[in-house]
Amino acid sequence: MDKITLIIPCYNEQSAIPFLKKELYKVMEGFEGVEFEVILVDNCSEDDTLSMMKELHREDPRFQYISFSRNFGKDSSMYAGLKASTGDYVTIMDADLQDPPELLHEMYEALKTGEYDCAAAYRADRKGEPWLRSVLAERFYKLINKISDAEMVSGARDFRLMTRQMVDAVVSLEESERFTKGIFSWVGFRTKWIPFENRERVAGKTKLPMRSAFSYALRGIVAFSTAPLVLTSILGMGICVFAFFYTIFVIIRQLVSHEAVPGYPSLMCVLLFGFGITFLVLGIIGQYLAQMYLEVKHRPKYIVRESSLAGDKDDGRQGAVR
Ligand code: UDP
Ligand code: MG
């Protein structure tokens, strides 16, 4: 009998959990001959999310929970869930039902054919999303696909059903600055893409404001592309070539006309431009250095405060959770 693990990262989702519970039961009952395991990962919520998870676990032992000692971000929650999962197939789903659970049937069928290792959902449209966010997101995907080897689909969600083999591959990437969408793409495997219509969250508010979406995108670029570094080198070289010819030009002009250089404005321009570029380049290098610094420290990706999984005192650093 196949076993499917559902991983659900939750942060302050008390208003969504009752809806989630209903939908999950509906989906699980729709499958025949499949065993389920639900791993709810609490990102140190401030509301009743954890106590609701405990209640679910008491009612139905198929529901397990892991609760972090603080908010380690959604990517760490997904990692913790993937690591703890025991299913032959594993899926990650948002708690707010923006990932339609009924798609699981189609995903499961696709994997059962043996043709695919992963069935992933993407939003065919971005209806209901703030305009600026959609535009920036589209730009981001165009950019990252150009400058990185990992191909990322615009509108793709973390919602996907994966085989055990692919899950093990994802877990084997141990970086702590995780950009999970990139990791999914980087590990490869054959993915079937399933489109669906965008949905609004069922209850509560988004936990990913524009500002953090922006820094998340930046992390993605730094994690999956070194193109900005190459670009800055090319830029630096270009400026050097320009400066070289300009110097020759200034010397020749001085030799020919013998006039004192009046060029205060041009000097200022070159100076400011040069300084501007220098700081820009330093900033870009700094981004990479910062990410390296965080990786080198090799801190755990999450710390578990309590969990229903036996012996789960794991810190996400290495080894199996149980
Ligand atoms: N989430 C989380 N930790 C966080 C932020 C979000 O586990 O720090 C969860 C959240 O509970 C939800 C999912 O990640 O299940 C997606 O978050 P959200 O719906 O707020 O993001 P959006 O769909 O607006 O991008
Ligand atoms: Mg959402």
In the chain the first and final C-alpha atoms are separated, in Å, by 21
Ligand 1 site, residue 157, Cβ cutoff 6 A: no
**pTM (two decimals):** 0.82
Residue type, 8: I
Atom of ligand 1 nearest to the CA of 41: 7
Q: Look-up: residue for tokens 């908010």?
A: 71
Taking alpha carbons only, the member of 24, 13, 65, 17 closest to residue 206 is 13
- Strand ranges (E), 24-146: 34-42, 63-68, 89-92, 118-123
Distance (Å) from CA 207 to ligand 1 centroid: 5
Residue type, 122: Y
Distance of alpha carbon 304 from alpha carbon 40, whole angstroms: 13
Between vectors from CA 51 to CA 34 and to CA 29, what angle results, nearest 5°? 20
In this structure, what are the phi and psi dihedrals at residue 69, rounded to the nearest 5 degrees? -80, -20
Distance of alpha carbon 238 from alpha carbon 244, whole angstroms: 10
Ligand 1 site, residue 208, Cβ cutoff 6 A: yes
Distance (Å) from CA 248 to ligand 2 centroid: 59
| Per-residue pLDDT at 70 | 92
Nearest CA to ligand 1 atom 13: 94
How is the chain split into domains, by residue range? Answer: 2-206+300-318, 227-296
Ligand 1 site, residue 75, Cβ cutoff 6 A: no
Ligand 1 site, residue 10, Cβ cutoff 6 A: yes
Q: Which CATH number fits domain 2-206+300-318: 1.20.58.110, 3.90.650.10, 3.90.550.10, 3.20.20.150?
A: 3.90.550.10
Distance of alpha carbon 222 from alpha carbon 200, whole angstroms: 30
Ligand 1 site, residue 210, Cβ cutoff 6 A: no
Residue type, 110: A
Taking alpha carbons only, the member of 68, 73, 52, 63 closest to residue 7 is 63
In this structure, what are the phi and psi dihedrals at residue 120, rounded to the nearest 5 degrees? -120, 145
R_g of the chain, CA atoms, integer Å = 25
Distance (Å) from CA 286 to ligand 2 centroid: 31
Ligand 1 site, residue 74, Cβ cutoff 6 A: yes
Taking alpha carbons only, the member of 126, 227, 224 closest to residue 181 is 224
Distance of alpha carbon 228 from alpha carbon 147, whole angstroms: 8
| Per-residue pLDDT at 297 | 85
Distance of alpha carbon 232 from alpha carbon 284, whole angstroms: 8
In whole angstroms, how far apart are CA 206 and each of 10, 18, 210?
Answer: 11, 17, 10
Distance (Å) from CA 306 to ligand 2 centroid: 25
| Per-residue pLDDT at 32 | 87
| Per-residue pLDDT at 14 | 93
Cβ-based neighbours of 98, under 8 Å, separated by 6 or more: 157, 198, 199, 200, 201, 202
DSSP 18-48: HHHHHHHHHHHHH-SSEEEEEEEEE---SSS
Distance (Å) from CA 289 to ligand 2 centroid: 31
* pLDDT per residue as tens, the chain (322 positions): 899 999 999 999 999 999 999 999 999 998 888 999 999 999 999 999 999 999 999 999 999 999 999 999 999 999 999 999 999 999 999 999 989 998 999 999 999 999 999 999 998 887 777 888 888 888 888 888 888 887 888 888 899 999 999 999 999 998 888 899 889 999 989 999 999 888 888 888 888 776 788 888 888 888 888 888 888 888 888 888 888 888 888 788 878 887 666 776 778 778 878 887 888 888 888 888 888 888 888 888 999 999 998 655 555 544 434 3
Is residue 108 a contact partner of residue 4, using CB atoms and an 8 Å limit?
yes
In whole angstroms, how far apart are CA 56 and each of 38, 51, 100, 254?
Answer: 10, 9, 21, 83
Of the bound ligands, which one is closest to the alpha carbon of residue 16? 1
